[in-house]
Structure 1
Amino acid sequence: MTNQEVINYICEKLNAKNPSHNKKIAKSFICYLKNISINDLYTSLYEKCNLNINKIDKLIKKINKSIPLEYLINEKYFLNNKFYVNKNVLIPRPETEEMVLEALSFLKTQSINKKINVFDICTGSGNIAISIAKNYKANIYASDISFKVLKVARKNAKDLGANNITFLKGDFLKPFIKLNLKGDLIIINPPYISSKDRSVDYSTKNYEPKKALFTETGLEFYNIFFQNYHKIINNEGIIFLEFGYEQKKPIYDLMEKYICLNKINYKFFKDTNKKDRFLFISLKNNI
């Protein structure tokens, strides 16, 4: 069979009814198994494919059980960089790319004579910290509570040449408070799904790490953050938070409860799907 015929074969075997999604999975399978780029695949669609069909069938069975493709091929692209992922880390989402691009836009307005401290809290695969490190020279600190998660993040930093990151192990804000570190830019994508949320899809709920996704109400991390953010931020710092699309009102209520709003600038932003997703807070007129 040719590469194109193998793509067609995979698409026929997949349970999903979305043809474009099936083609994407099929192409990813072939690129992974042959260790080639998508561009290489496009230029060799009608060349003979020497892949073992039995191996392909085993992968198809796993996909049909809703195991995420990213865990099967151990990779996920984020802002055009290929990140290693496994079952210990959350799969990076495209919405988070938007927040990182906003953070980079802010950083590029800063004086080149000042070395900025950037904190990526709940780093996961390291996709946020590494994406910033590859585009801006700063003192970057990335934290997570899990050794297994930090192992993945460190691997990605090494593989992608992001050498200006200090990784910290600890629970949420604690390692920064303990070391008396102050950030100029703090960016956080914490667990924000309520454990009672029944709308979470089967694949996410059953295969991605629960500690990276769920808390009892989905708001615990924001509650802690708004009460303690002043302990880890410099006087003119800026904060980027991602949250669930139905959480704007409770996030605002928490912010109003713990922060004097007339002393800060803040703005809620929607993602490209027009859903409320991000909160930017500035301790001066940066927004």
Structure 2
Amino acid sequence: MKQRIFTLRQTIEEGTEALREAGIEEAALDAWYLLEYTAGISRAAYYADPYRELDEGLALKYLGYIERRKKRIPLQHITKEQEFMGYSFYVNEHVLIPRQDTETLVEEAVELIREKQREASQRGSKSVFGENTSDGRLQVLDMCTGSGCILVSILKMCPEIQGKGCDISKDALEVARKNAERLDVKAEWVQSDLFTEFVENKPQFDVIVSNPPYIPTIDIEELQPEVRIHDPRIALDGKEDGLYFYRRMIEDSIFHIKTGGSLLFEIGFNQGEDVKGLMKNYGYENVEIKKDLSGLDRVVTGIYNGG
């Protein structure tokens, strides 16, 4: 049987056309990413010699990935990687794929942490929010941590803090641990249904950050197949009105956050005022809604006043 000859150009064109026919919106981009992932071909190398022959085994492997992508399996589930905050994270079917929108939450948390550290330094205090901070370091909790991308990114940019990530999913926590090792940060990971496994007798955290499930159940069926079918539903479903987890976390957070501590949430674009109201009802002050780069409400922050 005559061996088929694959050139780089022919292979990428075949992959792009197959994805386009399958209705993949960014067919050309996904086809390129998969070629880069399969063969390690940079754009510079491709354009320098687009008619270079590609090893048949690599070409067939590439076309196999194209077939998977045609079935609306997310690109990140094929490559097992997603960039977030400039870092490369491992992902799989057990975690929500990190999205650029969530970078707004990380940026707000890092800005807040650094501001409080500057204030503490000016005061000559070991602790940012009080004398009961362990080792004089800020204690940060990432609730519903998933892949760990939020906490790990914060720890990369603020390595002097102590971080703890919590999730109900054991499989998600394994991914988070792998990402902490991958990016060389130390964190503690706790399997818990929100705060149920936290039994500290005194408030423990200076900062609590979370990107909880917030999509109303009825809206999930309207999502793209890549999200609806392949992202873990437990990471998407915010129950009837999308606010279920905000209510639970805000109500319970007051037993775990120090006076003067900060609570930060990612929200859906139309949930800002509702979450803001919930936080104010439980003693949070200076509650603000922050927008993302698209101008949509994305993050709510507030400071706990102790009751």
* C-alpha contact (below 8 Å) 1:122/1:142 kept by paired residues: yes
**1:187 equivalent in alignment to 2:194:** no
SS at match of 1:215: coil
User: Which residue number in structure 1 is paired with residue 246 of structure 2?
Assistant: 222
Structure 1 position 240, deviation (Å): 1.0
Deviations 1:240-260 (A, max 9, x none): 10111122233234334x324
Which residue of the other structure, out of 266, 272, 281, is the alignment partner of 2:293?
272
Mark the CA change 1:181 to 1:249 in structure 2 (over 3 Å): closer, same or farther: closer
- 1:226 and 1:17, CA in 2 relative to 1: closer, same or farther beyond 3 A? closer
- 1:195-274 equivalence runs, <5 A: 195-197=217-219, 198-217=221-240, 218-256=242-280, 258-260=281-283, 264-274=285-295
Task: Say if 1:281 and 1:76 are closer, same or farther in 2 by CA, change over 3 A.
Answer: same
Is the 1:144–1:168 Cα contact (8 Å) retained in structure 2?
yes
- In angstroms, what is the RMSD of aligned CA positions? 2.0
Whether the 8 Å CA contact 1:177–1:231 is kept in 2: the answer is: no
Structure 1 runs of 4+ aligned residues shifted over 4 Å read 178-181
* Unpaired stretches in structure 1, ≥5 consecutive residues: none
Shift in Å, 1:179: 7.2
In the aligned structure 1, how far is the partner of 2:215 from the partner of 2:61? Answer: 35
* Normalised TM-score (structure 1): 0.88
Is the Cα contact below 8 Å between 2:291 and 2:297 reproduced in 1? yes
The range that moved more, 81-90 or 101-110, is: 101-110
SS where residue 157 of structure 2 aligns? coil
Match status 1:175 vs 2:188: no
> Is residue 88 of structure 2 the alignment partner of residue 82 of structure 1?
yes
Report matched runs for 1:152-167 at 5 Å.
152-163=175-186, 165-167=187-189
Could you tell me which of 145, 151, 175 is aligned with 1:123?
145
Other structure's SS at 1:103 match: helix
| Counterparts of 2:201 and 2:93, CA distance in 1 | 30
Give the Å deviation of 1:186. 0.8
State the one-letter code of the partner of 1:206: I
- Counting matched residue pairs gives 274
Distance in 1 (CA, whole Å) between partners of 2:263 and 2:244 is 17
User: For residues 179 and 171 of structure 2, what CA distance do their matches in structure 1 show?
Assistant: 13
What are the ranges of 5 or more consecutive residues in structure 2 without an aligned counterpart? 1-5, 128-136
For 2:73 and 2:54, locate their aligned partners in 1 and report how far apart those are by CA, in whole Å: 25
